[in-house]
Structure 1
Amino acid sequence: MPYDPSAYPPFAVTVDLVVLTVRRHALCALVVRRGESPYEGRWALPGGFVQPKEGLAAAAARELEEETGLRVHESAGQSGGVHLEQLATYGDPDRDPRMRVVSVAHLVLAPDLPAPVSGGDAQTVRWAPVESLLSLEQEESREAADPALAFDHHRILADGVERARSKIEYSALATAFCPPEFTVGELRRVYEAVWGVALDPRNFHRKVTGTPGFLVPTGGTTTRQGGRPAQLFRAGGATLLNPPMLRPEV
């Protein structure tokens, strides 16, 4: 069938960002309060329209910096302790009231990110525990004190959180939430925050130190968590964990 431009209405491409970090032993997501319509005043994931001559990864990095002041260096996936990857594409016809908009969502993971700075079309930006965001009902009234996320961002956030939860089972991605040198206890708290469960310290220590290529001792110790000096590790060269760190059944 020949292409007929009149049969296809114009549409736009956007990027949305699921930015996750661990703060105060809780998995938190970055959200912005929208400063313009649609959904003015509602919380949303950071993101925006892709410019005509701009790649998707570049657009994701630009929107993150414009709306929050946080920088992610465009690379093959990880740079400076920040992990960036495409999450999924969302294109339901009515997901944006302005026009047909297709969004390419990205997942960003980083350790202990600083307090963000609002900018662009964002009035306010903050870290919020993902459990509180995901508990908000999509049909919640706009007059509620903390209404549900704008657009279909509840679904995008849920997909991003599940991606992070599942990937740390079979990959070394959990170390992306840690500083360059970390203790087994700090890594365990990452797993506990992302999975939302408590783990047995001894079993966890045995598993992670016994998984080839997962952790490499640095030769140093730290007392920053209190108590006796704890051995420091850095991420090893393994990208896949064998055996995997299976998520406990809740």
Structure 2
Amino acid sequence: MGEGAIELAVSTVIFALQPEAGTGRPSIRVPLVRRTRAPFEGGWALPGGWADAREGLAASARRTLAETTGLEPAYLEQLYTLGAVDRSPTGRVVSVVYWALVRAEEAEAVPEGENVAWFPAEELPQLAFDHARIVEYALWRLRTKMEYSRIAHALLGETFTISELRRVHEAVRGVVLDPANFRRHVESSPALVPTGERLTGGAHRPPRLYRYDTEVRLADNGPLDDTEESR
């Protein structure tokens, strides 16, 4: 890089819910890639790379994600732009950061190995550059947005039960929610639509399946405040 030059990069924080070993309880996980060159060679970092002048920023984020992890998330949103003069030891690098959500089955399709691995979002190894700060901010953004939007849809299948939806909220927000209060809250939303079908394969009366009506514009009806206890 020439003296005084600024290079533009993209990085993406990907969130998925995956079951914890032993309990099967869903928890938020993040894929990291191992750096193969200096600086921080051998260390863990967020998926990303250099932006391409021939494509848009979101296209660069999607391309670098596919190249490093093989993931092609349906939900991708620009998060933040980082441009501190000292954030890279090799020169001035401005990074446009995105965050993405993938479903569990998409996450499971990513082959883990020496250079790609999933980590609990709250228990990350030491990260290159300022990537730990980026993950922290992305996690805050995810939790904040979860209370007011249909963002849980990106972590679920096309249809889901109320219990499955509640477990997503609990895993992301790090709280335990009262099932009855949660059901009343979400069923009052015009965006949640019963499919008329039920989940099959259970030992008891099968629960109803729901879907999101993406045509409904949600009003802010307040956060879910029926927390019983913090984890």
Change (3 A) 1:65 1:117: farther
Contact 1:31 1:46 in 2 (8 A): yes
Shift in Å, 1:179:
0.4
CA distance in 1, matches of 2:213, 2:136: 29
CA distance in 2, matches of 1:224, 1:46: 38
Structure 2 equivalent of residue 141 of structure 1: none
Helix, strand or coil: the match of 1:205? Answer: helix
CA distance in 1, matches of 2:92, 2:213: 44
Structure 2 equivalent of residue 51 of structure 1: 52
CA distance in 2, matches of 1:16, 1:177: 20
Helix, strand or coil: the match of 1:131? Answer: coil
CA distance in 2, matches of 1:226, 1:161: 36
Structure 2 equivalent of residue 21 of structure 1: 16
Q: 97, 104, 127: which is aligned to 2:118? A: 127
CA distance in 1, matches of 2:220, 2:198: 27
Contact 2:16 2:107 in 1 (8 A): no
Shift in Å, 1:38:
1.0
Structure 2 equivalent of residue 35 of structure 1: 36
Instruction: Give unpaired runs (5+ residues) of structure 2.
Output: 20-25
Helix, strand or coil: the match of 1:132? Answer: coil
* Structure-to-structure mapping, 1:230-249, within 5 angstroms: 230-237=207-214, 238-246=216-224, 248=227
Shift in Å, 1:178:
0.6
CA distance in 1, matches of 2:202, 2:34: 34
Structure 2 equivalent of residue 218 of structure 1: 195
Change (3 A) 1:97 1:197: same
Structure 2 equivalent of residue 86 of structure 1: 78
The share of aligned pairs that are identical, in percent, is 43
Q: CA offsets, 1:109-157, max 9 Å, x none?
A: 1221233247xxx951121110112xxxxxxxxxxxx4x1111001110
Helix, strand or coil: the match of 1:170? Answer: coil
Q: How many residues align?
A: 218
Contact 1:172 1:241 in 2 (8 A): no
Structure 2 equivalent of residue 159 of structure 1: 137
Change (3 A) 1:242 1:185: same
Contact 2:185 2:224 in 1 (8 A): no
Would you say 1:229 and 2:206 are equivalent positions? Answer: yes
Q: 186, 201, 219: which is aligned to 1:208? A: 186
Contact 1:171 1:239 in 2 (8 A): no
Contact 2:182 2:224 in 1 (8 A): no
Helix, strand or coil: the match of 2:222? Answer: coil
Helix, strand or coil: the match of 1:171? Answer: coil
Would you say 1:109 and 2:86 are equivalent positions? Answer: no
Contact 1:35 1:123 in 2 (8 A): no
Instruction: Give unpaired runs (5+ residues) of structure 1.
Output: 1-5, 73-81, 134-145
Would you say 1:12 and 2:7 are equivalent positions? Answer: yes
CA distance in 2, matches of 1:224, 1:42: 44
Shift in Å, 1:228:
2.8
Output the aligned Cα RMSD.
2.1
Contact 2:45 2:127 in 1 (8 A): yes
Contact 2:161 2:210 in 1 (8 A): yes
Shift in Å, 1:12:
0.4
CA distance in 2, matches of 1:95, 1:231: 50
CA distance in 1, matches of 2:203, 2:5: 59
Shift in Å, 1:53:
1.6
